[in-house]
Amino acid sequence: MATSGSRDFELDVADIIEEAYERCGLEVRTGYDAKTARRSLNLMFAEWANRGLNLWTIKQATLTLTKGQAQETLTPDVVDLLEVVLRRDGTDFELQRISRGEYLTIPNKATEARTSQYYFDRKIAPVINFWATPENSTDQIVYYYVQRIEDADTLTNTTDMPFRFYPCMVAGLAYYLAMKRAPERIQLLKSVYEEEFQRASDEDEDRTPLKLQPSIQYLRV
């Protein structure tokens, strides 16, 4: 028996909403039913960002520093910074992330030298603060950042995520809808959602091989 040979299964927003309503024992009957479900879906995406479930949205960007300018405003879609390095003449130097309090207590923030630390202020328009203040306009900051998940704007949109997250997304939306429309199913759907979330979260980790390096004292003859 022949297999399909296809690997392009996708759910658009309308499909996701319909499946979630069915799990609540309901149907999408009005435009408002779809509107309130789409709103819940976007709120759930914000929850996922808070819970760290969006490894697939990690991007790399480069920023050229300006001499004497200790702050740079990033785009609003930057949720968080992961790794940051300063690139000078082809060599990368890791930057240390510090807290708001640590940055506040730096006595002379205007000191110009090679930047070695940064404080990331996660405002609506996020700002990265450097110390020391850049001493030239040729150094670059290369960073990995977590990008905000795209909104579910229209019913014909597909979602901004890999297919392996579909079960978690549908289960989560069903739970969100149950809180509004099917309170008798809240506990069941919450349990299913948390199981799917944990499974998706475990899959979303950055996998690296385990490398064990013996202490130098055990290598001595």
For 86-103, write each residue's pLDDT tens digit. 999 999 999 999 999 999
pLDDT of the residue at 9: 84
pLDDT at 207: 57
- The whole-number pLDDT of residue 206 equals 63
| b/e burial code for range 73-104 (CB count within 10 A of at least 16 → b) | ebeeebbebeebebbeeeeeeebeebeeeebe
Give the residues of the chain that fall short of pLDDT 50.
210, 212, 214-221
Instruction: Please report the pLDDT score of residue 2 as a whole number.
Output: 84
d(CA 149, CA 44): 10
At residue 16, the pLDDT reads 95
pLDDT of 215: 46
